């Protein structure tokens, strides 16, 4: 394992490409997004967590055990969650939300420590606010680096701040006609097995491709928590995008399932931030059930939504043929 004290490193040179976003208002269907989805809020998992407060009228912040803060965006359909992980010398911000609110201002209110952004993958609802930070670390995967570098132009990004994607007023200065997700040039590249030292606290990089080629999880062995980004969250797991590799998804999940003895909770990238680790092995079982032709599902627009205990899986029908 490499041990990294995160400081400004080598700047990667990524070639811009046409990004493909997550589900937009135009693409959404009832299979993915239920009508008036906000009526299910607040999600029950938050009742047991200490709420630190509301920041910038866009973020809710919750205290998790052992110096970790969940920064939650409940007013946009994707309900993105970023995590501020505090060490004695540095803080890590795992993901930066979708860029609608000023997450850098929130972080500055929560800590005086120097901050390193650690991205879990290359989708814009996770790197949306990364451009506001000086130190950004990303897994070294070419297609992921290209996408993060390119950002998302208005014609692709505006759907995430329009219509039923949001149910509260947008922050001042944000509107559908001008909203973009700026590209980011990472300052440090990560490899599988890297250990990030925050001072008295470490995070291990686990490459977990499947949801996307550049997806990673971060394992805090001492505090027994796994930060999963979009590999797992309690909700519909997206296995239908252009970058999805189901075989890789299963292999990655088998890997982190084998490590369940090293962590008790999953800090996920959407919906709820504190999930018991025992759900992870069932994800592999669920994918294998689907590939074997089993499972109950609803179907629309050549996509199927399979329902399991604690999560769903949405997959393109052609990937199963």
- d(CA 29, CA 301) in angstroms, rounded, equals 8
pTM attached to this predicted model: 0.91
pLDDT tens digits along 84-113: 999 999 999 999 999 999 999 999 999 999
* Residue boundaries of the structural domains of the chain: 3-320
User: Which residue shows structure tokens 């989805």?
Assistant: 37
CA distance 119 to 189: 11
How much of the chain exceeds pLDDT 90, in percent?
A: 86
**Tokens describing residue 59:** 């973020």
Residue-wise pLDDT tens digits, 302-318: 999 999 999 999 999 98
Query: What architecture is domain 3-320?
Result: 4-Layer Sandwich (3.60)
H-run or E-run covering 125: helix 124-127
pLDDT attached to residue 30: 81
What is the reported pLDDT for 10?
26
Letter string b/e over residues 194-230, b meaning 16 or more CB atoms within 10 A of that residue's CB: bebebeebbbbbbbbbbbbbbbbbbbbeebebbbbbb
Residues 273 and 48 sit within 8 Å (Cβ to Cβ): no
Residue 32 sits at the vertex; the CA angle it makes with 271 and 48, to the nearest 5 degrees, is 20
Which residues, 6+ apart, have CB-to-CB distance to 301 below 8 Å? 29, 31
**pLDDT, position 139:** 98
Q: What is the pLDDT of residues 126-171, one digit of tens each?
A: 999 999 999 999 999 999 999 999 999 999 999 999 999 999 999 9
Number of alpha helices (DSSP H) and beta strands (DSSP E) in the chain: 6, 19
Nearest to 106 by CA among 88, 93, 119: 93
Give the pair of three-digit tokens for residue 221. Answer: 């062995």
Query: Quick one: tokens of 150?
Result: 């390119």
Q: What is the dihedral of CA 167, 158, 83, 132, to 10 degrees?
A: -130
């Amino acid at each position: 394992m490499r041990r990294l004290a995160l400081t400004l490193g080598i700047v990667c040179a990524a070639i811009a490409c046409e990004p493909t976003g997550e589900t937009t208002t135009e693409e959404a269907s009832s299979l993915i997004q239920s009508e008036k989805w906000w009526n299910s809020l607040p999600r029950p998992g938050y009742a047991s967590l200490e709420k630190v407060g509301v920041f910038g009228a866009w973020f809710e912040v919750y205290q998790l055990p052992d110096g970790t803060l969940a920064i939650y965006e409940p007013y946009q359909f994707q309900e993105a969650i970023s995590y501020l992980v505090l060490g004695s010398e540095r803080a890590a911000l795992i993901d930066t939300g979708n860029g609608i609110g000023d997450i850098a201002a929130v972080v500055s209110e929560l800590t005086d420590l120097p901050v390193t952004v650690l991205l879990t993958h290359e989708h814009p609802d996770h790197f949306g606010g990364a451009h506001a930070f000086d130190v950004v670390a990303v897994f070294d995967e070419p297609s992921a680096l290209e996408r993060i570098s390119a950002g998302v132009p208005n014609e692709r990004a505006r759907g995430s701040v329009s219509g039923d994607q949001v149910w509260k007023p947008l922050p001042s200065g944000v509107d559908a006609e001008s909203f973009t997700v700026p590209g980011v040039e990472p300052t440090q590249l990560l490899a599988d097995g890297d250990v990030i030292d925050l001072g008295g606290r470490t995070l291990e990089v686990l490459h977990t491709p499947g949801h996307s080629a550049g997806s990673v999880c971060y394992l805090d062995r001492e505090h027994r928590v796994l930060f999963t980004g979009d590999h797992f969250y309690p909700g519909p797991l997206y296995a239908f995008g252009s970058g999805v590799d189901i075989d890789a998804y299963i292999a990655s999940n088998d890997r982190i399932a084998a490590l369940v003895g090293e962590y008790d909770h999953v800090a996920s990238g959407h919906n709820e931030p504190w999930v018991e680790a025992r759900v992870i092995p069932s994800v592999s079982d669920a994918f294998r059930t689907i590939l074997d032709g089993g499972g109950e599902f609803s179907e629309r627009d050549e996509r199927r939504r399979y329902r399991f205990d604690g999560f769903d899986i949405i997959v393109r029908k052609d990937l199963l043929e």
